[in-house]
Amino acid sequence: MTHRIRHATVLAVAGLLAAATACTGQQSTPPGFAGRQLSEERGVGGAGAGEADTARTFTLLASGDVLPHSSIIERAAADAGGRGYDFRPMLKGAAPLVSRADLAICHMETVYAQDGGPYTGYPSFRSPSEVATALRATGFDSCSTASNHTLDDGAQGIGRTLDALDKAGVAHAGSARSVSEAGRTTVLKAGTGKKAAKVAHLAYTYGTNDIPLPAGRPWAVNLIDRNRILADARAARREGADVVVLSLHWGTEWQDAPDDTQLALGRELTASTTAGRPDIDLVLGTHAHVPQAYEKVNGTWVVYGMGDQIAGAMINHEGVRDPRGNESSMGRFTFAPPAAAGERWKVTKAEFLPQWFDTETGRVTALDAPHGDPTGRRREIRDRISGVVLSRGAAQDGLVRGK
């Protein structure tokens, strides 16, 4: 993936963001929208201004699948009021949490169609490129783009998707437009100065729905291979990465519990070390459509599945409407610098943040507080998500529900 060094709040790509906004005809952060502010991105003020040139603690937040079904595309058209597509309102409920993190990672499961469409949902997705603008306005810094739907529109779909993310100022990992891009590491920068943490973002998928890789482009999508993942992680470390974050599109759909493949691969990847230091510092899972457990494995946090952050009303494999398909969690991890050079950055706080996508209103809804919940429905959803997330003993290792 393209090598991108990015500040958490002071972004060199602000000009690209402005260009993307001009293309869509929409403000990047409309009045009252709790996303990151463009003035901060341009370095006017901002949390990083004037900070000492020393390593510091940072927070990394990750969310689940962005999966625009036809109903989601229709909602975005309605929210745009006849001026294209606006996905920002549906993400507004997540923006306060996303924008407060030093780094925020999403999963863009689908590819983008050409401007004007046609736009399609399941089973072969082609989404409006305005999704990318909404992700940036919400506060996301990078997205994993390796999924079973990455080849739904061939190599051209990959190209349009990565072009749109670039214009919006969102880094990406997992798919590529060229062999040189495929060979480079996506690197995010948490903080300012020479001592800011460099975070490598790697991403892979279990498959592409039996769609063959494009002719002459075996590098177009990263496929899960244990040896390849570890080789890439070690290469990122040699290139100076302080923290290596791994996004995996894996698991069994509609299964709350991680499957045997997830458990085995999670153990193998987290057990791998170089010179006594783990090769991977955090594993983030997507694909199952439902929230799955968090677990500390060999001293490293593994999120088996975060669920769908955005999706239409979901039908499971039994042909039944399954509300779990609109439940998810975001993971938030606080990393602290090592006491000595060459040691790992340690997670000093691990949190999960339950979320629900209300398909009736088309909005992401935070579930951290029960107020405004006269029927108790939100509390019930929150508690179900919490039970699944904690089902493998993560509470004993310090995982807490965040706010």
Query: Is pLDDT at 22 greater than 80 in this prediction?
Result: no
Query: Is pLDDT at 27 greater than 90 in this prediction?
Result: no
Answer with the residue of higher pLDDT: 40 or 232: 232
Per 3-state DSSP, what percentage of the chain is helix, strand, and coil (rounded to 5)?
A: 25, 25, 45
Averaged pLDDT score across all residues of the chain: 88
Closest CA to 86 of 21, 18, 138, 26: 26
Query: Is pLDDT at 222 greater than 60 in this prediction?
Result: yes
Provide the pLDDT confidence category of residue 193 given band limits of 50, 70 and 90.
Answer: confident
Q: What is the mean pLDDT of residues 358-375?
A: 85
Measured in whole angstroms, the distance separating CA 328 from the mean position of its chain's CA atoms is 12
* pLDDT for the residue numbered 195: 80
φ/ψ of 190, rounded to 5, equals -100, 105
Provide the pLDDT confidence category of residue 370 given band limits of 50, 70 and 90.
Answer: low
* pLDDT for the residue numbered 375: 85
Provide the pLDDT confidence category of residue 286 given band limits of 50, 70 and 90.
Answer: very high
Query: Is pLDDT at 11 greater than 60 in this prediction?
Result: no
Q: Which CATH class is domain 14-27+59-401?
A: alpha beta
Beta strands of 33-150 (E only): which ranges? 58-66, 103-108, 142-144
Spans of all domains in the chain: 14-27+59-401
Answer with the residue of higher pLDDT: 52 or 100: 100
CA atoms within a 13 Å half-sphere pointing along the CA-CB vector of 345:
29
* pLDDT for the residue numbered 43: 31
Percentage of residues in the chain having pLDDT higher than 90: 80
* pLDDT for the residue numbered 312: 98
